[in-house]
């Protein structure tokens, strides 16, 4: 399967189109020619480390920042020059930004009043929205009287009340403690599914992006690295950055021995070859590989199998140096004779010092080979 | 390509900012520049002759020097009274603590001239205290006058700045800081020097600056008690009344320069960033003495302190209740009746100053709040050069003594030169409200700036994302969130304008004479009872506004 950096296949019923948007603050380039399309009803997650430009992109979408260049279209309508108040987007802020001087009900009604709805309709819609987020009867409460999770839901209800054309969520769960975050995330997911609104979500947490997003875009240094559904992102990362940022990974150097239809057989280059000088050759996916090329192999911990060092073919030998007990599985670190460190998962905790053979689990997704830096393809 | 709609909105914003900056420059900066220019002989011929004359006269130097040392000693005295009181109220627990805490801020509510007169009737040579002592057979003869009397009044009215600033800072100090110091083995004294004092520094510096500037600008006390002991403010008014306009302008410029350099100097000493702002913990518990007698003693001392603070107010009330010619040699008035109040209410001519002060103070506070709000909002939205200029214009009048402003306004607005944007306002009902407004801009502008800075920008963005335009956002989100600060600023402005004496004495006309001027006139006509009634009226209205201010500013 080719995980080529595909020109994005236009999903059906494109709703939001971002075309070559760039943005600098002073001499600092924050967004570099970002292009993406979001389908109607899709939940689209922007994932990246802090400073990757994801919040700036969201603020450009909301209209609080002007792009230096590029266009923004919603259902074909150019909104690049439209003021925030006229875009008709719903926005949930990281801090929620609930109006502290207004009650819960008045917060939710704010956008409806700005649209000059008549009072009865406003009241009806407020009740409907509070019911949607499980806060029936909270109309008269003060914002300061309710919990953080409830505030988050009020912010969502307020954003959804005026029937926005697009919902923008800026790190919507980052202000909650971990236990509450998990529960609120599930509620948020259910609400978004029920409403069926096109949503762009910004987060730095992979788990949040994977659980909420139909597709996830990874941003790094203002550049879109990859846009894909969560599974594809994890199993077929398009760039070294995505591979390293999403999930845990092991990196091993190697050379391409033979190019196959959708990948290659890669001979590992180990610091201290195993006894008998048997070469270890693993098959991997990868783009644009050529024979004899130096590559780096990315292997997920769960793709490694640990066994007895009794002459297993195509295995590395090593010693367990540390074990982190994690309940269902434990995280095991193995050091090879040459000093390479590998991370693997084990059902049963292994004793430190035990000698093990590390091989590929053929049922797990295959490793990915990335052309080593300075070997033709530009490194991202 | 950037959005054109935001860009055009930005242009409108910038133009509005520029327009407001020009209006403020015209109101605030222009009169000062005109005064400076005319003190240098412009527009006829540039000459330093007036300044040379100033330098030749020893009495001018003496007045300047007196202004400086009176201000410095006022700072010391105010700190000496205010800081211990703040610690007493904030760090110990005794019966009546809350009441005393509130009462201690009261002197601020007493308009300067009224406070001075109350002192005169209380501690003066024929005041209540002297009479009581004489009736008790003590040969009490003293004269309340000169620098000592000025300093007494300053200490009484200005310790409040230290008291309020330090008390607020103490409330914000985190108890965990003390616990940390104790856990590191620091003794009580060491903790005081190394923890408490450094953390109080911004509050102490802020209060020192405020007291110094207030004392430098003080006019009522030197005017009533000074006699031949002239400070700069009284010197200016004397020169102006003597018709030596050129010298009055030079003196005005000199006092303005001293005030500005004082401000700059004190700002340099302490940039004023608050070290306590980061801590959001719990203030240390109040020490409650286990010894009952100590608590009782503190309680009794509290009552005494409260009585001492309230004595000037009580004297005024007493005086207002003594019918004319009934109180001669007795220690306390033999008859108490409402004659003086009736006299005042029955005469439209005597009521006129009350109505004058009320409408002028109301107009000035509303105008100052509106202008301060608009300028502060534009200043923060624009940032950049225009934003900084706006902020500067809002703060500048604060550093300029009232007398300086009064002379500057009198100079600028007494000439009809429309081409120079100068019009005759002196002698019209407009000049006093305008003067009050300009002097109040720092209060309203600074509190608007502070309140706006505290509003999370995300709130305005949230309003915009919900479809609210700039006007709606201002009306439904920004102003409601600023309301406590705006109401407090309006109340403070109102109190100041209502009791104003220092600018009024330079700018009033008979038609627009405010209460303070009438008080002085009544005293000159030996109508002490009526003067006291005016004082009580001012006191009551000011106290009402003060309660609004206190209630709002603590939110």
User: Which tens digits make up the pLDDT trace of B334-375?
Assistant: 888 888 899 889 989 899 999 999 999 999 999 999 999 999
User: Which of B11, B455, B462 would best serve as a mutation to test chain A binding (most A beta carbons within 10 A)?
Assistant: B462
Q: A304 CB contacts (<8 Å, ≥6 apart)? A: A250, A342, A343, A344, A345, A358, A359, A360, A361
For position B552, what pLDDT does the model report? 53
Q: Chain A residues with CB inside 8 Å of B381's CB?
A: none
Could you say which residues from 363 to 422 on chain B have a Cβ atom under 8 Å away from some Cβ of chain A? Answer: none
State the Cα–Cα distance between residues B160 and A83, nearest whole angstrom: 49
State the Cα–Cα distance between residues B235 and B243, nearest whole angstrom: 12
User: Which of A99, A116, A157, A165 would best serve as a mutation to test chain B binding (most B beta carbons within 10 A)?
Assistant: A99
State the Cα–Cα distance between residues B459 and A93, nearest whole angstrom: 9
Phi, psi of B487 (to 5 degrees): -65, -40
| The CA-based dihedral angle spanning residues A97, A99, A103, A106, taken in that order and rounded to the nearest 10 degrees | -100
State the Cα–Cα distance between residues A266 and A270, nearest whole angstrom: 12
A20 touches chain B (CB under 8 A): no
Cβ B469–A80 below 8 Å, yes or no? Answer: no
| CB-based contact A357:A308 (threshold 8 Å) | yes
User: Which of B454, B455, B466 would best serve as a mutation to test chain A binding (most A beta carbons within 10 A)?
Assistant: B466
Cβ A114–B466 below 8 Å, yes or no? Answer: yes
Q: How many CA atoms lie within 13 A of B257 on its CB side?
A: 10
Instruction: Give the whole-number percent of chain B exceeding pLDDT 70.
Output: 93
- B272 or A33: whose pLDDT is higher? A33
| Distance to chain A for B470, nearest Cα, Å | 9
State the Cα–Cα distance between residues B102 and A48, nearest whole angstrom: 54
| Distance to chain A for B466, nearest Cα, Å | 5
B136 touches chain A (CB under 8 A): no
A158 touches chain B (CB under 8 A): yes
The per-residue pLDDT of chain B, averaged, comes to 85
| CB-based contact B470:B508 (threshold 8 Å) | no
Q: Of B115, B357, B312, B306, which is closest to residue B214 (Cα–Cα)?
A: B115
For position B419, what pLDDT does the model report? 85
For position A4, what pLDDT does the model report? 37
The confidence band for B272, taking pLDDT boundaries of 50, 70 and 90, is: very low
If you average pLDDT over residues B509-517, what whole number do you get? Answer: 90
If you average pLDDT over residues B176-182, what whole number do you get? Answer: 75
| CB-based contact A325:A318 (threshold 8 Å) | no
| Distance to chain A for B11, nearest Cα, Å | 14
For position B26, what pLDDT does the model report? 92
ipTM of the complex: 0.77
If you average pLDDT over residues B506-524, what whole number do you get? Answer: 90
Q: Of B113, B76, B48, which is closest to residue B518 (Cα–Cα)?
A: B113
For residue B486, pLDDT beyond 60: yes
- Residue B252, token pair as written in the block: 């005005």
A309 touches chain B (CB under 8 A): no
| Distance to chain A for B3, nearest Cα, Å | 4
State the Cα–Cα distance between residues A355 and A275, nearest whole angstrom: 14
The confidence band for B227, taking pLDDT boundaries of 50, 70 and 90, is: confident
Instruction: Give the whole-number percent of chain B exceeding pLDDT 90.
Output: 27
Q: A372 CB contacts (<8 Å, ≥6 apart)? A: A253, A293, A294, A295, A296
Q: Chain A residues with CB inside 8 Å of B463's CB?
A: 99, 110, 114
The confidence band for B10, taking pLDDT boundaries of 50, 70 and 90, is: confident
A·B CB contacts under 8 A:
91
Number of H helices, E strands in chain A: 9, 20
Separation in Å, CA B521 to CA B118, B513, B517, B537: 16, 10, 6, 16
- Sheet with A355-360, edge to edge strand ranges: A304-307, A355-360, A316-326, A329-336, A341-346
For residue B275, pLDDT beyond 70: no
State the Cα–Cα distance between residues A20 and A68, nearest whole angstrom: 10
The confidence band for B63, taking pLDDT boundaries of 50, 70 and 90, is: very high
For position B308, what pLDDT does the model report? 83
- Report the 10 Å Cβ neighbour count for B355: 11
A308-334 residue pLDDT tens:
877 667 788 889 999 988 888 889 999
- Report the 10 Å Cβ neighbour count for B228: 7
Which 8-state DSSP code applies to residue B196? I
Q: Which residue of B has its CA nearest to A100?
A: B481
Q: Which residue of B has its CA nearest to A85?
A: B467
The single residue listed with the structure tokens 């004058």 is: B356
| Distance to chain B for A110, nearest Cα, Å | 7
Q: Of B107, B95, B13, B121, which is closest to residue B292 (Cα–Cα)?
A: B95
**Residue length, chain A?**
380
B429-479 residue pLDDT tens:
899 999 999 988 988 998 898 889 888 889 999 999 999 988 899 999 999
Q: Chain B residues with CB inside 8 Å of A98's CB?
A: 462
The single residue listed with the structure tokens 């240390």 is: B284
B349 touches chain A (CB under 8 A): no
Q: Of A117, A119, A156, A106, which is closest to residue A134 (Cα–Cα)?
A: A156
B461 touches chain A (CB under 8 A): yes
* Ramachandran category for residue A91: left, alpha or beta (phi over 0 → left; psi -120 to 50 → alpha): beta
For position B4, what pLDDT does the model report? 40
Q: Of A245, A230, A195, which is closest to residue A44 (Cα–Cα)?
A: A230
B78-119 residue pLDDT tens:
999 999 888 888 887 777 788 888 888 878 778 888 888 898
For position B3, what pLDDT does the model report? 38
Ranges under pLDDT 70 in chain A: 1-12, 271-277, 311-312, 374-380
For position B173, what pLDDT does the model report? 78
The confidence band for B1, taking pLDDT boundaries of 50, 70 and 90, is: very low
- Per 3-state DSSP, chain B is made up of helix, strand and coil in percentages (nearest 5) of 75, 0, 25
B291-342 residue pLDDT tens:
778 778 877 887 787 788 888 889 999 989 988 888 877 778 888 888 889 9
The predicted model scores a pTM of 0.77
Q: Of A224, A223, A217, A156, which is closest to residue A184 (Cα–Cα)?
A: A156
| CB-based contact B118:B312 (threshold 8 Å) | yes
Cβ B469–A81 below 8 Å, yes or no? Answer: no
Could you say which residues from 462 to 491 on chain B have a Cβ atom under 8 Å away from some Cβ of chain A? Answer: 462-469, 472, 476-477, 480-481
Of A67, A85, A115, the CB nearest to B464: A85
| Distance to chain B for A62, nearest Cα, Å | 7
| The CA-based dihedral angle spanning residues A316, A321, A326, A328, taken in that order and rounded to the nearest 10 degrees | 40
State the Cα–Cα distance between residues A257 and A260, nearest whole angstrom: 10
Q: Which residue of A has its CA nearest to B458?
A: A97
The confidence band for B554, taking pLDDT boundaries of 50, 70 and 90, is: very low
Q: Chain A residues with CB inside 8 Å of B465's CB?
A: 62, 84-85, 87, 89-91, 159, 168
Of A85, A88, A90, the CB nearest to B469: A85
B455-465 residue pLDDT tens:
888 999 999 99
* Ramachandran category for residue A137: left, alpha or beta (phi over 0 → left; psi -120 to 50 → alpha): left
Could you say which residues from 107 to 126 on chain A have a Cβ atom under 8 Å away from some Cβ of chain B? Answer: 110-111, 113-115
Strand, coil or helix: what is A368?
strand
If you average pLDDT over residues B31-40, what whole number do you get? Answer: 88
For position A146, what pLDDT does the model report? 92
State the Cα–Cα distance between residues A254 and B28, nearest whole angstrom: 76
State the Cα–Cα distance between residues A171 and A94, nearest whole angstrom: 5
The confidence band for B267, taking pLDDT boundaries of 50, 70 and 90, is: low
The confidence band for B550, taking pLDDT boundaries of 50, 70 and 90, is: low
């Amino acid at each position: 399967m080719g995980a080529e950096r595909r020109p994005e296949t236009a999903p059906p019923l494109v709703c939001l189109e971002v075309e070559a948007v760039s943005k600098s603050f002073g001499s600092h380039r924050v967004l570099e020619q970002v292009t993406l399309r979001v389908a109607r009803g899709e939940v689209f997650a922007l994932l990246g480390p802090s400073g990757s430009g994801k919040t700036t992109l969201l603020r450009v979408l909301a209209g609080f920042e002007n792009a230096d260049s590029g266009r923004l279209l919603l259902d074909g309508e150019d909104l690049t020059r439209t003021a925030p108040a006229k875009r008709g987007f719903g926005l949930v802020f990281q801090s929620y930004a609930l109006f502290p001087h207004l009650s819960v009900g008045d917060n939710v009604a704010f956008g409806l009043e700005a649209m000059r709805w008549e009072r009865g309709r406003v009241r009806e819609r407020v009740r409907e929205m509070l019911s949607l987020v499980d806060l029936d009867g909270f109309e008269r409460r003060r914002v300061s009287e309710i919990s953080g999770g409830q505030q988050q839901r009020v912010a969502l209800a307020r954003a959804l009340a005026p029937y926005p054309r697009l919902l923008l969520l800026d790190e919507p769960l980052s202000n909650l403690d971990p236990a509450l975050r998990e529960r609120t995330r599930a509620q948020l997911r259910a609400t978004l599914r029920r409403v069926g609104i096109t949503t762009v979500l910004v987060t730095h947490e992979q788990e949040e992006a994977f659980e909420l997003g139909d597709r996830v875009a990874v941003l790094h240094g203002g550049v879109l690295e990859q846009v894909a559904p969560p599974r594809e992102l994890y199993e077929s990362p398009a760039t070294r950055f995505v591979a390293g940022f999403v999930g845990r990974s092991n990196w091993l150097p190697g050379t391409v021995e033979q190019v196959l239809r959708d990948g290659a057989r890669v001979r590992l280059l180990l610091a201290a070859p195993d006894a008998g000088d048997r070469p270890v050759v693993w098959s991997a996916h990868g783009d644009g590989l050529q024979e004899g090329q130096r590559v780096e192999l990315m292997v997920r911990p769960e793709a490694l199998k640990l066994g007895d060092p009794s002459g297993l073919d195509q295995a590395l030998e090593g010693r367990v140096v540390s074990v982190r007990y994690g309940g269902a599985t434990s995280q095991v670190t193995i050091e090879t004779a040459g000093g390479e460190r590998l991370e693997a998962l084990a059902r049963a905790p292994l004793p430190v010092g035990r000698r093990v053979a590390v091989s590929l689990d053929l049922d797990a997704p295959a490793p990915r080979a990335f052309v080593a830096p300075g070997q033709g393809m530009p490194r991202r | 390509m950037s959005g054109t709609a935001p860009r055009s909105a930005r242009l409108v914003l910038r133009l509005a900012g520029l327009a407001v900056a020009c209006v403020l420059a015209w109101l605030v900066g222009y009169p000062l520049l005109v005064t400076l220019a005319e003190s240098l002989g412009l527009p006829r011929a540039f000459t330093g002759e007036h300044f040379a004359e100033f330098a030749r006269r020893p009495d001018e130097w003496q007045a300047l020097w007196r202004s400086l040392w009176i201000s410095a000693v006022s700072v010391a005295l105010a700190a000496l009274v205010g800081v211990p009181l703040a610690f007493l109220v904030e760090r110990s627990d005794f019966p009546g603590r809350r009441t005393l805490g509130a009462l201690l801020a009261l002197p601020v509510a007493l308009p300067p001239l009224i406070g001075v007169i109350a002192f005169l009737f209380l501690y003066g040579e024929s005041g209540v205290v002297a009479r009581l002592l004489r009736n008790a057979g003590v040969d009490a003869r003293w004269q309340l006058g000169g620098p000592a009397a000025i300093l007494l009044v300053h200490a009484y009215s200005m310790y409040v700045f230290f008291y309020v600033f330090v008390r607020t800072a103490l409330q914000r100090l985190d108890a965990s800081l003390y616990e940390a110091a104790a856990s590191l083995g620091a003794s009580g004294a060491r903790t005081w020097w190394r923890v408490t004092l450094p953390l109080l520094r911004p509050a102490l510096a802020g209060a020192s600056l405020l007291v110094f500037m207030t004392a430098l600008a003080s006019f009522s006390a030197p005017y009533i008690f000074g006699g031949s002991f002239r400070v700069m403010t009284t010197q200016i008014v004397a020169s102006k009344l003597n018709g030596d306009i050129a010298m009055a302008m030079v003196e005005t410029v000199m006092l303005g320069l001293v005030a500005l350099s004082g401000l700059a100097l004190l700002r340099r000493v302490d940039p004023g960033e608050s070290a306590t702002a980061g801590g959001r913990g719990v203030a240390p518990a109040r020490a409650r003495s286990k010894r009952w007698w100590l608590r009782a003693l503190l309680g009794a001392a509290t009552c005494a302190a409260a009585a001492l603070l309230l004595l000037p107010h009580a004297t005024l009330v007493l005086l207002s209740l003594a019918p004319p010619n009934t109180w001669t040699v007795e220690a306390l008035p033999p008859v108490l009746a409402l004659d003086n109040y009736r006299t005042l209410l029955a005469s439209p001519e005597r009521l006129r100053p009350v109505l004058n002060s009320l409408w002028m103070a109301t107009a000035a506070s509303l105008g100052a709040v509106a202008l301060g709000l608009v300028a502060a909002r534009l200043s923060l939205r624009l940032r950049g050069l225009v934003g900084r200029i706006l902020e500067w214009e809002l703060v500048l009048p604060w550093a300029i003594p009232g007398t300086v402003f009064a002379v500057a306004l009198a100079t600028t607005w007494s000439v009809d030169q429309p081409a120079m944007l100068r019009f005759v306002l002196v002698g019209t009902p407009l000049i006093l409200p305008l003067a009050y407004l300009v002097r109040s801009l720092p209060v309203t502008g600074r509190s608007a700036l502070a309140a706006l800075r505290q509003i999370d920008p995300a709130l305005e963005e949230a309003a915009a994302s919900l479809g609210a335009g700039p006007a709606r956002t201002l009306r439904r989100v920004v102003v409601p969130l600023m309301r406590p600060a705006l109401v407090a600023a309006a109340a403070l402005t109102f109190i100041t304008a209502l009791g104003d004496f220092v600018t009024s004495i330079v700018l009033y006309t008979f038609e627009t004479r405010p209460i303070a001027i009438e008080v002085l006139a009544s005293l000159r006509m030996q109508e002490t009872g009526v003067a006291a009634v005016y004082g009580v009226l001012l006191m009551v209205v000011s106290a009402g506004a003060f309660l609004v201010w206190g209630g709002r500013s603590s939110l």
